[in-house]
């Protein structure tokens, strides 16, 4: 299975090539999130994932750290759209996608990956797109969002 995924990611990387940074601000799931609290204070660029998830939850009115019966915590729950998001750094996109799928299974929501992008993460972000597109192409409705936390 790992070999299969590695080949799929490689093929996606070759097929889709480098993505433009300007695309990072769009959404890949067909719906926009409404800003609920525009006054939410943006964390420092070097803040951890927990701080960024708290900010995104406050800004978009999403439940933060939803506790599952087994003790795991879903970073963000979008109850309006039925999406369980894992918030992760772009370089950890593979872990984030796996966790999102597990959370979706546990909550009966659709999986979502919300990546935190820093300058220099281009290749990791491109690879994340391949994994998401691979899943979507096989009927797994992965929602994908990106927040730029540090740019040039």
> What is residue 18's predicted lDDT score, i.e. its pLDDT?
29
Which residues is 111 bridged to in the sheet?
A: 84
Which among 150, 28, 143 is positioned nearest to 76, based on CA atoms?
A: 143
pLDDT digits (tens, 9 = 90+) for 72-121: 999 999 999 999 999 988 888 788 888 999 999 999 999 999 988 888 87
Q: DSSP secondary structure string, 57-73?
A: HHHHT-EEEEEPTTS-E
Q: Reply yes or no on whether the pLDDT at 4 is more than 70.
A: no
Question: Which of residues 45 and 21 earns the better pLDDT score?
Answer: 45
pLDDT tens for 39-75 read 888 998 889 999 999 999 999 999 999 999 999 999 9
Count: domains in the chain: 1
Residue 22 domain boundaries: 2-150
> What CATH number did the domain enclosing 82 receive?
3.40.1350
Q: What is the pTM of this model?
A: 0.75
């Amino acid at each position: 299975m790992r070999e299969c995924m590695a080949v799929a990611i490689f093929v996606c990387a070759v097929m889709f090539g480098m993505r433009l940074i300007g695309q990072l601000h769009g959404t890949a799931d067909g719906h926009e999130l409404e800003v609920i609290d525009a006054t939410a204070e943006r964390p420092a660029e070097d803040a951890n994932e927990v701080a960024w998830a708290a900010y995104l939850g406050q800004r978009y009115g999403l439940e933060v750290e939803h506790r599952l019966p087994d003790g795991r915590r879903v970073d963000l729950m979008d109850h309006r759209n039925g999406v369980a998001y894992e918030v992760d750094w772009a370089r950890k996109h593979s872990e984030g996608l796996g966790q999102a799928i597990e959370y979706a299974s546990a909550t009966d929501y659709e999986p979502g990956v919300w990546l935190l992008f820093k300058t220099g993460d281009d290749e990791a972000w491109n690879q994340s797109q391949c994994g998401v597109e691979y899943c979507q192409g096989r009927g797994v409705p992965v929602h994908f969002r990106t927040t730029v936390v540090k740019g040039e």
